[in-house]
Amino acid sequence: MRRELEYELEGAPSTGDKRLVYHPRLGYGWLMRKETAPAEAEMEAYGGTGRRGSGEFEILGTDDRQLVTDTTAIPFRFVCCLDLLFAHPTDATRTFLLRGSGTLISNRHVLTAAHNVLNSLARLGFPDVRARPARIFAAPGRNGRLLPFGRSDATIMRVTPQWEAAPDSQFDFALLTLRDDLGAANQTALGNRPLGFWSHPQRGSGTRIRPLEIRVLRGQPVNLSGYPSDKCLDQPPDRPATQAEIRACTGTVPGLPELTDLGSTQWRAFGNVRDPAPATEPRSITYDLDAATGHSGGPVWLRWQEFRNLVAVNTGGFPRPTAPFDIIANMGVRITNAVLTQIGEWMRADGVRPTF
């Protein structure tokens, strides 16, 4: 249905120590016993986080997402798989592991969706109290059971004052500060050269973060990459996994049982901008590319002036404004001067000068 070249141009069963858990909006994952969980707590693993819009994605017609087989290539090496570990709101012995995506934009900063960092667990049947993850792990370029550039946990998680006050999809972006300078570390997978990051002046290889005018964005072909939780490693290639296929997705990274095969591979989608500034949410942008839970926070970019220009942070589905209020597009927070000013202030607070 879409042409890659055009866009490039630009009671569940149990197994072992785990049993499958499911939420109709968040997706699938695994509930693990205390001794197998990463933070010495029982863990429920779900595919993604959500709100009305954020995290509620849609396959729009034919599912033509494509597996990224080489995640060491640019720009895919800068796309991060996020493990979001939330404390259970009523049981201190359990935690929820949710999936998200993000973009490495400095040696130690990851741009992602705010609802990955601060969100209500009411959709799980708990009191409507907004919660932050106890821990977040970021793995750039994760490829199933391979972590070619390692991973690091976030020491600081920042959201906008507007999102802090109340969920507002126009401010659904956040910045993670990592413990380790992943972008500066020499990487065996790159011939002992540093990883770099999206917009790095030497190692970004034509990636850029710059606001584009609304008139330029309208109708443009765009790309999205991230870690959807309706895939088990490289399967299925042309549709969301069925419940039976997800039940069978029981593998993990050897020695790291918290790193499950579910939602562990990077998938790319192609589409066109539908509305660069919807009347109901003028700071947002909508597009007709496919997405699924776990894609939250992933980069949306287009080819412009020989650059891969980051134009949005992917956040969720965009509903029809009237009944039946079904999702008619996917959406993100549009990169604007105001967004970059906020991100830049956060980075400078950590002593890091932005490259955008």
What CATH code is carried by the domain that includes residue 331?
2.40.10.120
- pLDDT band with cut points at 50, 70 and 90 for residue 353: very high
- On whether residue 266 sits in a domain, the answer given is yes
Region of poorest pLDDT, from 64-68, 84-88, 120-124, 184-188: 120-124
User: What local confidence, expressed as pLDDT, does residue 293 receive?
Assistant: 86
Q: Are 313 and 111 in contact (CB under 8 A)?
A: yes
- On whether residue 201 sits in a domain, the answer given is no
- On whether residue 273 sits in a domain, the answer given is yes
Of residues 33 and 80, more confidently modeled:
80
Answer whether residue 161 shows pLDDT above 70: yes
User: What local confidence, expressed as pLDDT, does residue 50 receive?
Assistant: 39
- pLDDT band with cut points at 50, 70 and 90 for residue 324: confident
Of residues 7 and 128, more confidently modeled:
128
Say whether pTM exceeds 0.95. Answer: no
pLDDT (tens digit per residue) in 197-232: 999 999 999 999 999 999 999 999 999 999 998 999
How far is 204 from 106, CA to CA, in rounded Å?
10
Question: What is the number of structural domains in the chain?
Answer: 1
One-letter amino acid at 66 equals: Q
Which has the closest alpha carbon to 43: 21, 11, 12? 21
Answer whether residue 298 shows pLDDT above 90: yes
Mean pLDDT, residues 168-186: 97
Mean pLDDT, residues 173-198: 97
How far is 184 from 203, CA to CA, in rounded Å?
10
Answer whether residue 55 shows pLDDT above 50: no
- On whether residue 195 sits in a domain, the answer given is no
How far is 265 from 147, CA to CA, in rounded Å?
11
- On whether residue 68 sits in a domain, the answer given is yes
Answer whether residue 28 shows pLDDT above 80: no
Region of poorest pLDDT, from 17-26, 199-208, 251-260, 282-291: 17-26
Two tokens, residue 140: 């750039």
- pLDDT band with cut points at 50, 70 and 90 for residue 35: very low
Of residues 136 and 95, more confidently modeled:
136
- On whether residue 194 sits in a domain, the answer given is no
- pLDDT band with cut points at 50, 70 and 90 for residue 53: very low
Residue 260 C-beta-side C-alpha neighbours within 13 Å: 33
Mean pLDDT, residues 167-196: 96
User: What local confidence, expressed as pLDDT, does residue 124 receive?
Assistant: 62
pLDDT (tens digit per residue) in 59-83: 776 788 999 999 999 999 999 999 9
Domain that holds residue 328: 4-185+206-349
Two tokens, residue 15: 């197994």
User: What local confidence, expressed as pLDDT, does residue 346 receive?
Assistant: 98
Mean pLDDT of the chain: 84
Q: Is residue 244 packed enough to be buried (19+ CB in 10 Å), middle (13-18) or exposed (0-12)?
A: exposed
Rg of the chain on CA atoms, in Å: 19
